[in-house]
Every structure is written in structure tokens, then in C-alpha cells.
Amino acid sequence: MLLRRVAPYKTWDTIFKKCRTLVDPRDREPVFETLIRDINHRLEPLGFRIAQTVDGGIGPIDESQQDQVSDESGGGIYPRSQGERWMGLINTKVDNSAKLATELTPAELNFFRRVISRIIRAPNHRYCISLHEAIRSHTKIQGMKKGDAQNVLDVLVKKGWLSYVAGIYTLSIRAQLELDPYFEKTFDLEDLPPQCLKCKNIVMRGYKCPKDECRGALHVQCEAVWKRTQSKCSECKGKWSNETLIGQDAPDGLVLDTEEESEVEAKEEEEEEEEGTQQTQTQTQASKGKRRSTASSQKSQKKSRNREGPSQPRNGRTPASRRSSRYDKLLVLMKI
């Protein structure tokens, strides 16, 4: 898990079963979830945790469209998307976005943060942007050209931070798991993706409560299980309906106009200024601490010299007080 970081739940479950068979082939007790809870209990003091979430799956999530989309091979049709469970090891004490600083230049990291901002703030809860919108995020970043932006996007997809399908960029499962603390620290509640009523993870593709002011939402897979026993939104207690979609399936008729685009850019610049201010304050505090340490060291050295007694003159000459004393003694001897 340290090497793969994020993988489907089925993969980890299969590995666990093989290991269990090697240890005791007769053991058939389903203890995988128990093992995960025990591991998390031991990892928490170290600042790590095994987290789980559900992806959006492949195929339509609108019930009216299910079984209507052919797959690419032409050999069948996609059933309604059910999604897949994923697991990954995340750091709970350190902002995982800081790790990107070792993989990207400051300009590239700034660009990625702008891409994240546009995805999170996409209109109508779509949580995705087009290739054109992603590349446009490089504007106002000094020293970055359009070609550079495309190269960074390719790197982010290759490293598993972004997903790119049919001209649309979305945040990958890895980004959703590892950057969740960054989302909460950076974005307002109204901009953040809603939490799933069942699994409590963020929903970037699925269903939302039909009430505009309610943040109740469900993944496709979670909704299939949840609605067996529930008919009302547990957030607002209103009647539940899966007609309001979240993610790229949501209506794309709402696009950012010039004024809204300016607001998004203003928020991005404000976030960058706040981050820059925090870095400056940290550097200033470190500098003050260094100066205090130097001053304290100098005081200690001075006290040490005072305890050792008067120091010898640097030029090797006898101090005036000593010369005067010797001169008086010489006069006394001459009188004798």
C-alpha cells in the first residue's frame, strides 16, 4: 500500500485473502474490515489512515439513460453505472498538497491549484472542466505558456492527480482522497463538494437532494443501497429523488460569464496571496528566531568572558593603570 497508495477495494481484499490462505487455509472468517479498523487504530498516532471512497463509475447514471449507451467495442451496452470502492493510504497530519512541491515547479504548482479551483467551482455541481478551460488556467502565471500548461496537465494525469476522459478533466480518486484536507482549508463551504449521506466521503459524481439549499448527496453505488431503507433525505428530511445529478452528467447549460470568470480568478488570486502571506510570516518568524538565538549566544559569550576576568589587551601593551603603578614604585626606589 505504501507503493501503490490508491487501488480498488477488490484488489486489497484479494491480496488479504491470499495472505490469509498462506497463513491458515482453514480460516474463512471475513475479517478484512476488522483488520482495516485495527490498522487505522495503530496508524492514527503516526499521522496516517487508510481511507475509502467510491468513484463515479463508467456509463450513464441517469435512470432514463441506462442501457442506452453502447460500449466502445460495440459488443454490448453499458448498464447503469454502479461505481467502484477504492482504498488508499493518506497522511492526516501533513497537507498532502505540499508533496506536489517536490514534483512541480512553483509555477506548475500554482497552475494545478488553479485547475483544482476551476473544477471545484464548476457551475451546476459539474466538478469537471474542458481541455480549453484547463489550459486557460495558465493565464496570469508568469513564465508559463500554453504548451507548458498542456505538458503539466499530461504529467498530472500520468501521476494520477487528474483524470482525463473524452475531453473532460476531473479530480482523480487519488486527489479526492489525499487532497481532501486541502479542499476544506482552501474553499468555502458553499463551493465544497457535498458529503455522501451514506459513506461520508465527498461526492463528485452521483445524486443531490432536489432542494437547492440542501447539501445532501449520494454516490451512485451508495444510493442503490441507501434507498432500500430510506425515502427521505437525512439532511433536510425532505423527499429524496435521484433526478438532480452531480458531476459531468449534470446539465452543462450553465457556463461562466465574464463577470463570474472574473470572480473565480479573483478568488484564486486571493487564495494565492493568503498562501504567500503565510509563507512570508513563517520565514519572518524563523528569521526572528535566528536573530534571538544569535543575540542570546553573544550575551552568553560576554558573560563567560566577564567570569574569566579582564581580558589581555589585543596589542600586547600594558594597560595605562599598570604602567602608572610601576612608575610610582620606580620613584619610591629612586628616593631610597
Contact 140, 265 (CB under 8 A): yes
pLDDT over 60 at 66, yes or no: no
89 confidence band (pLDDT: 50, 70, 90): confident
CA–CA separation, 211 vs 51, rounded Å? 29
Other CB atoms within 10 A of residue 123 CB: 14
CA–CA separation, 321 vs 326, rounded Å? 9
19 confidence band (pLDDT: 50, 70, 90): confident
Tell me if residue 335 falls in helix, strand or coil.
helix
153-200 pLDDT, tens digit each = 999 999 989 999 889 999 999 899 888 888 988 999 889 999 999 989
Q: Rounded to the nearest 5 degrees, what angle is found at the Cα of 282, between the Cα atoms of 47 and 299?
A: 110
For the structural domain made of 6-269, what CATH number should be given?
A: 1.10.10.10
CA–CA separation, 123 vs 133, rounded Å? 13
CA–CA separation, 32 vs 36, rounded Å? 6
Domain boundaries, the chain: 6-269
38-53 pLDDT, tens digit each = 989 999 888 888 888 8
Other CB atoms within 10 A of residue 32 CB: 15
Contact 193, 175 (CB under 8 A): no
| pLDDT for position 252 | 76
Other CB atoms within 10 A of residue 2 CB: 6
